[in-house]
Structures are given as structure tokens and as C-alpha cells.
Amino acid sequence: MENSISIKYTDSYKEVKALQPFAIRSLLRNMALSGLSLKNGIAGIEKYLLKPRVQFLYIHHIFKDELQNFENLLSTLSKHHTFLSYSDAVNKILTGTVDKPYISISSDDGFKSNLLAMEALRKYNASACFFINPGLIGETDFSVIKKHCKEKLNFPPVEFLSWKDVETLQNAGHEIGSHTMNHIDIAKSTHTEIDEDMRQTFEILKIKCGGVAHFAFPYGRFFNFNEIGRKAVFDAGFTSCATAERGCHIKQDTVLLPEKFCIRRDHVVLDWNMNHILYFIANNSKKANVSTNLFPY
């Protein structure tokens, strides 16, 4: 048989989970270490869910076996929150007009499975921002994808969005942001590489998507970024910069400059227990203060 090299893209969360048996355990340990208790169920955390703030949540994948969970998540969140587009969420915080509990959804890495999110998002009238690596969009070489997924994402090989898919997302009212050309760790890159990457992604997305405003750096922890990166993002023309550090954003009365504003986002895996997700965002709400709005650099 020709083509006996096995080209098999992962297309279910079941397959991913089989490869990552420890993820859930570490999540439970993290919960045990933090301050809130789930003893009283949702009733005990409801006041935190009702607090005016913007909570950003981001996902990486919505495989077909996660669709129902995604819809359940949107349904549950909609009981206490209003969905905001990414740009509207950023603007609310920058203009000090956070008056209700808001949720803004984004997704990183540009997997093709993101397309499956569109129907549920439409149902809840929610717009999301998809942070993509332009260097991977439309990539179809399985060996390139397999290497990228393994080395950069610690993930089995998955299909990536095409530029046509990106257009489909935009036409459905979603936003596209940059996640660097090829998913680099900015803290491990040189000043020149960072400047070059920011300029290149900004230009490509300007041409392909008719403009781009938002940036989220790969890996997302503060130690994956630095002051050089922060400056390069805004010098290139982006107007927001996101982390994957937990937290939410409350209204601040003093002026918040876009280049000082550090967007915090909580990662969500769709098969996590719903109460645990609510617990995490309630904990953010409980701990929120205006210093959370700023970069630590």
C-alpha cells in the first residue's frame, strides 16, 4: 500500500486525554491549595460570580466530543454574565466602564476544531477572539504539523485552520489575534527575533484579515514574556496584550494605558467539572483588585 506512513490527526478529546493522565490530578491539587471551598456548592460562590468584572476565558480546542460541554459552559456562564467580544471587553476595562459581570471568550493556537465552536457561540450571541500563528495557518504537511504539535505544544498532531477558515470565523463576527508567527517563547528569543516576529505577524494579519488589534503571547505565563516583548507588541501596532495568567479585571478609576494593561485569561478544558470552572472564576473575583490590571514588568 502506498502512503503507509500513518497520517492520523487527532480529532477527539478522548485521544488527547489518554495521553495526559495527570492533568486532572494537578488541577484538583491546585484547587485544594487555594482559598475558596466548594463545600456549600454554587450558593457559596454566587456573590462572587455576580460581581461587576471582566473575566477572560480561553480554550485551545473544541473537538466533536467537547461540543456539548462547550454549550453547557456558555449556558451556565450566561446565568450570571453577559458575553462581550474581545475588543468590547478590552475597551470596557480601558475606559473604566465595567458595570456588570462579563465574560469574553478566546482561543489559542488556531486548531481547525475551533470551527466547531461557531454554532454554540452563535446560539449565545457571543463573539470570540481566535489567536493564531500565521506560520501554521494552511499548513498541510503532516510531518511539519506533527513536529510543531509535539515540540511546541506538547500535543498530538491536529489539523490547523486554513486562511479560508479564518475568513469564515471573521464572517461569523469573530476576531482574529496574533499568537506570534510560529508559537515562540518570547522569553527565550532575542530582541531582534521578537521585533521581527511582531512586525511580521502584524503585517500579515493586516493583509489577510483586514487589520489586527490583539496579541496573546505563547505559553502565557509571566516567565514566558518580558519588558522587551511588551514594548515590541505595542511598537508593532497591536493595541492589547494577553497572558494566560489567572485573574479577572475590575473597574479602575485612574487612566489605564493600553500598553500597561495586562490581560489575564483563565484556561479552560471543556471536560473539567463545571463547578470547578465556576470555582476558579469566583476565586478570581474574590481576589480581584486594580493592580491585577497591570503588567508586573
CB of 212 to Zn ion, least distance (A): 16
User: What residues between 34 and 93 interact with Zn ion by CB under 5 A?
Assistant: none
Q: Which is nearer to Zn ion, 108 or 159 (CB)?
A: 108
Cβ proximity to Zn ion: between 177 and 218 the closer is 218
Q: How far is the CB of 98 from Zn ion (least distance, A)?
A: 27
| Closer of 109 and 197 to Zn ion (Cβ) | 109
Number of residues that bind Zn ion (CB under 5 A): 3
Minimum separation from the CB atom of position 23 to Zn ion (A): 16
- Cβ-based nearer residue to Zn ion, 218 or 247: 218
Within 210-229, which residues bind Zn ion (CB under 5 A)?
218
- Give me the residue whose beta carbon is nearest to Zn ion: 108
| Cβ distance to Zn ion smaller for residue 101 or 177 | 177
**Nearest approach, Cβ of residue 211 and Zn ion (Å):** 22
Cell numbers placing 146: 506533527
Q: How far is the CB of 267 from Zn ion (least distance, A)?
A: 10
Q: How far is the CB of 225 from Zn ion (least distance, A)?
A: 13
Three-state secondary structure string covering the chain: CCCCCCCCCCCCHHHHHHHCCCHHHHHHHHHHHCCCCCCCHHHHHHHHHCCCEEEEEEECCCCHHHHHHHHHHHHHHCCCCEECCHHHHHHHHHCCCCCCEEEEEEEECCEHHHHHHHHHHHHCCCCEEEEECCCCCCCCCHHHHHHHHHHHHCCCCCCECCHHHHHHHHHCCCEEEECCCCCCCHHHCCHHHHHHHHHHHHHHHHHHHCCCCEEECCCCCHHHCCHHHHHHHHHHCCCEEECCCCCCECCCCCCCCHHHEEECEEECCCCCCHHHHHHHHHHHHHHCCHHHHECCC
- Contact positions with Zn ion (CB under 5 A) in 88-127: 108-109
> Which residue, 243 or 292, has its beta carbon nearer to Zn ion?
243
x/- map, 168-207, Zn ion, by CB under 5 A:
----------------------------------------
CA-CA distances (angstroms) from residue 218 to 52, 124, 130, 188, 233? 29, 28, 13, 11, 13
User: Smallest distance, Å, CB 292 to Zn ion?
Assistant: 22
Nearer to Zn ion (CB atom), residue 109 or residue 175: 109
Binding site for Zn ion (CB under 5 A): 108-109, 218
